[in-house]
Structure 1
Amino acid sequence: MLYCTVHALGELAVLFPISGAFAVYNSRFIDPVWGFAMGWNYALYWLVTLPLELTAASITLSFWSGARNVNPAAWVVIFYIVVVLINFFGVRGYGEAEFIFSIIKVLAVIGFCILGIIIVTGGVGPQGYLGAHYWYDPGAFNHGFKGLRSTFVTAALSFGGTELVGLTAAETENPRKSPPTAVKQVFWRICLFYMVSLTIVGCPVTYTNDQLLNGSSSSDTNASPFVIAVKNAGIAAVPSIMNPVILIAVLSVGNSSICGFSRTLAALADRGQAPRFLRYIDQAGRPLLAIIFASAVGLLCFIVAAGDDTRTQAFNWMLAISGLSSVMTWASICACHIRFRAAWKHNGYNVSELPFTSQPGVAFFEAYLSFPVVLAFYLAFKLWKRPAFKRIQDIDVTSGRRELDLADILAFERAEQAG
């Protein structure tokens, strides 16, 4: 879904490199009222993401016993100042910071994937060979479709921010080159950072592990599955390495939240759909007043000082708002792309005239239709009947087997030769 959405957005962003693209595209290709609604929906998404991520950072820090003795608000102050200062350096500062954050995250994910494979195959740790044991005991797809559906909001939040490639297209030096390059990298980002890493982390850690967030254990409840996997394998140093990486990832999202919120707010103000003073952009291309406003809203992150129960409730509500907001944004981007293609054809233009064309079109499905069909049948039957994955020791190699009789084979060959 996200792959198709980003390609659709890339096609629009290359042809129309406009700052605050989402609100403008919705007003231009669908309806001005819908553009107003979706513009503020996207602004709301980033508005709650900053305090959400800084709250998550304070939760992650409690993994260390020493950090638990410090007021969470003290850590939030440090993270808040860092994120705000980065955005005052403009899109260049944002890009440089994200470049550094991304290198650290990529190296960490690749390192964990390698370490995860070693743990699963029994190369390290007392657990021995695990393989796909936890995929059938207690099993994948907990609670069937209901469980899959309940994780959708969290998954949507994890994928959120990928659409920023369209939001900042107007601020790039070469809008005809930079957005297509970023769009084409999305496929590999999805495969490496989500599909591969989550498949691997599902092998050494089961969802019933009481060390997970919201588990029943009173200690280490804030450890991530990555940290739990290496800790259970007896590797003492890695958890203290992985948690800083998780903090960097959280700060990266917080950094993106101010960038996304300020640009969207400035675009709405420019169209008269937000207070006019927020439209101000300085000579460096920074929407300064919008950045200040976004930073002020980010002060909601200090709700962490209200106590664990209040912090958890606030975290869950902000998660619900931001997760579903991103899904609505993606759906609206796809609707804009469909409407644009219809208007493009109506005005006598051809798809070949577009500087960048979205790949997942009719030709894409003509070439690869069999894969989603097979996948749909597999998942439907898996969720319906929930059969266990065949283990090597459970494979039947006896029933229906035909025993080879050497005498019969020789007699058959002689008969063939005689004939």
Structure 2
Amino acid sequence: MWNSFIDSFKPAVASETLTSQNVEDGKEYTEMEKININAANSNLSRKLKSRHLQMISIGSSIGTGLFVGSGSALHTGGPAGIMIGWFIMATGVFATMQGLGELSITFPVSGSFNVFASRFIEPAVGFAVGWNYFMQFFVLLPLELVAGSITVKYWNKDLNPDIFVIIFWLLIVVITLLGVKGYGESEFVFSLIKVIAVIGFIILSIVLICGGGPNHEFIGGRYWRDPGAFANGFKGVCSVFVTAAFSFGGTEMIGLTAAETKEPRKTLPKAIKQVFWRICLFYLVSLTMVATLVPYNDDKLLGSSSVDATASPFVIAVVNGGIKGLPSVINAVILIAVLSVGNASVYATSRSLNSLAEQGMAPKWTGYVDRLGRPLAAILITDIFGLFALIAASNKQEEVFNWLLALSGLSSIFTWLSINLSHIRFRRALTVQNRLLNELPYISQCGVWGSYYGFALNFLVLIAQFWIALFPIGGKPNAYDFFLSYLGLPVLIASWLFYKFWKKDWTLFVRAKDIDVDTGRPNIDLDLLQQEIAEDKAKLAEKPFIVRVYRFWC
């Protein structure tokens, strides 16, 4: 057993992945061909099951953005602002995830969207998006560890927060070293707890709104009338768009799992389709409850920040309802959400760095994968940086983390834009090369127009963020607030230019006729695939109308 444990850390054996194009001895490959082949023949282990994907697709987005960040959104946008912002962003996320689903199921390769950006747009874009995404989650681990230590202060303010930073850090290190199966199982448990908590909160909220709480006070739509539905007019709604976009960050992580999923053609479509509906249920319904129970001018919302769980509108709603004991339960759920996001951040960071190494965009040693399919070097780099969270005891922690987050603060928007554009370019390549959609194992329900819509919406969010950064609500234009909110854009442009100078390649995009639409596809008999799809459609046609509608959307 000891020898097996030691041997598991040795380099992985050569990949036996069967793709439509494998390496031929003696052939000279272009930079783009190397990227496609290396991504297709990754040594990552395929151990994630359908139930893991279902919970990862939910859990990666239900975190501090919902439980804590929604408080500041309610304060700046009001209840109507929250509902408008989250609903419109949800439609954009759905369209984006449909495009990602089509690409990920057709090409279940390591790195997913940053490889798609390199492949279907051009390598410099993949480099910039990949490193930006890496930085987003690289910084997120210590931030979530600090948030966890501050959450514990809800029960005891006298203890040194670094004690809990170390405890939580050790827990995450153990989970991440268990490999992808350990990550899948832990996320399954974490997400299940969060889902149960949100459902319980929704039921409790309905009771409180109807006057069934200890105070026996009927609330109804009181706070929508006074202080009102909107807090800061149109600018307030724009600020909510930005917060909503950040809170949905992580939904794209389902694409990263494609390279580590058993039978991605069968398991990924369901996960892709259900993520939108589940997030809509858990976000829109729970936020409706929060907006009805908590007035946007509540004094306790004024202290809301990314690491202050005591200002959670969920906790405030229960406290205002006169219920004792439950705020501690909700705070415990927030703590679990924090650990879940920290765990997910190690997964996202390590897989992104491993993919960048496979593409020749990061040092080769950072792409080391062991015999258990763990990107070991990337995991250790991320875990070690997590110790930066020991700054939790410092009085400068918030300022430090604000600037670290600013480096990749717009990363989710850039990632979604790259997914939309990659899908548009992929469809264009199919058209130019006279390839048919019936070759694809999964077709986006929104089609290519969904990606155009997602691209336009995310671009508008960037404009809204620029406006809010330049003219902050309740403040005057100043360089500090602007760069704190918009530093991500110059960092992305600098990354893109760095790659251009490094590789001396000034091509702006890969021409549609030259895009590789084959490498990375599993060897599937197209005739057999079309026959299976036709059989599935015939079986579905025999089902009742309600079942057909459910299967289409879920």
Residue aligning to 1:195? 284
Larger-Rg structure: 1
Corresponding residue SS for 1:168: helix
Contact 1:156/1:324 (8 A) holds in 2: no
Confirm whether residue 139 of structure 1 aligns to residue 228 of structure 2. Answer: yes
Partner residue of 1:29? 120
Q: Give the AA of the match of 2:94.
A: Y
Deviations 1:80-136 (A, max 9, x none): 111121111111000000100111011100000000011111111326111122123
Q: Which amino acid aligns with 1:251?
A: L
Whole-Å separation in 2 of the counterparts to 1:221 and 1:292: 28
CA distance in 1, matches of 2:321, 2:216: 7
Counterpart of 2:419 in structure 1: which amino acid?
I
Does the C-alpha gap of structure 1 residues 264 and 178 become closer, same or farther in structure 2, counting only changes over 3 Å? same
Structure 1 segment 267-278 matched on structure 2, within 5 A: 267-278=355-366
Confirm or deny: 8 A CA contact 1:83 1:255 kept in the other structure. Answer: yes
Give 2:130's aligned residue: 39
Deviates most, 10-19 or 139-148 = 139-148
Post-superposition CA distance 1:289-346 (Å, at most 9, x none): 0000111222221221112xx2222343345445411111111111100000100121
**1:157 Cα deviation from its structure 2 partner:** 2.8
Give the Cα–Cα distance (whole angstroms) in 1 for the partners of residues 170 and 301 of structure 2: 29
**Matching residue of 1:160:** 249
Q: How does 1:243-392 map to 2 (within 5 A)?
A: 243-307=331-395, 310-361=396-447
Larger mean Cα displacement after TM superposition, 52-61 or 74-83: 52-61
Distance in 2, matches of 1:363 and 1:326, equals: 21
Q: Residue 248 of structure 1 aligns to a residue in which SS?
A: helix
TM-superposed CA distance for 1:139, in Å, is: 1.8
Which amino acid is 2:146 matched to?
T
| Cα drift, residue 364 of structure 1 | 7.9
Matched, 1:184 2:278: no
Distance 1:319 1:56, change over 3 A: farther
Q: Secondary structure at the match of 1:151?
A: helix
- TM-score normalised by structure 2 residue count: 0.62
Q: Number of aligned pairs?
A: 359
Percent identity between the two aligned chains:
55
Post-superposition CA distance 1:358-416 (Å, at most 9, x none): 11137989xxxxxx9xxxxxxxxxxxxxxxxxxxxxxxxxxxxxxxxxxxxxxxxxxxx
**How far apart are residue 212 of structure 1 and its match?**
2.6
1:242 equivalenced with 2:330 (yes/no):
yes
Q: For the residues of structure 1 that align with 2:180 and 2:380, how far apart are their CA atoms? A: 15
| CA 1:322–1:33: 2 relative to 1, 3 Å | closer
Q: 1:251 to 1:346 in 2, by over 3 A?
A: same
Give the whole-Å Cα distance in 1 for the aligned partners of 2:216 and 2:337: 29
Q: Which residue of 1 aligns with 2:261?
A: 172
- Contact map agreement 1:125 1:232 (CA 8 A) in 2: no
Q: Is the Cα contact below 8 Å between 1:169 and 1:179 reproduced in 2?
A: yes
Query: Distance between the aligned counterparts of 1:34 and 1:82, measured in 2?
Result: 35
Give 1:156 deviation, angstroms: 2.6
Structure 1 position 286, deviation (Å): 0.5
1:9 paired residue number: 100
Letter of the 1:356 partner, please give it.
Y
| 1:249-286 deviation line (CA, Å, top 9, x unaligned) | 11111111000000000110111111110111111111
CA distance in 2, matches of 1:221, 1:294: 24
Question: 1:146 Cα deviation (Å)?
Answer: 1.6
What TM-score do the two structures reach when normalised by structure 1? 0.81
Per the alignment, in what secondary structure is the counterpart of residue 203 of structure 1?
helix
Cα distance in 2 for partners of 1:363, 1:268 equals 30
Unaligned runs of 5+ in 2: 1-91, 452-456, 458-554
Counterpart of 2:151 in structure 1 is: 60
Equivalent residue number for residue 141 of structure 2: 50
Aligned letter for 1:353? E
SS at match of 1:161: coil
Q: Distance in 1 between matches of 2:247 and 2:372?
A: 31
Say whether the 8 Å CA contact 1:14–1:179 is kept in structure 2: yes
The residue number in structure 2 matching 1:69 is: 158
- 1:194-213 paired onto structure 2 within 5 Å: 194-212=283-301
Write out per-residue CA displacement over residues 116-166 of structure 1, whole angstroms, 9 at most, x where no aligned residue. 011111111326111122123212332122222223443233211111111
* Counterpart code for 1:62: K
Partner of 1:106: 195
The one-letter amino acid paired with 1:11 is E
Q: Which amino acid aligns with 2:317?
A: A
**Would the aligned equivalents of 2:151 and 2:309 in 1 still touch at CA under 8 Å?**
no
Two-structure CA RMSD over aligned residues (Å): 2.1
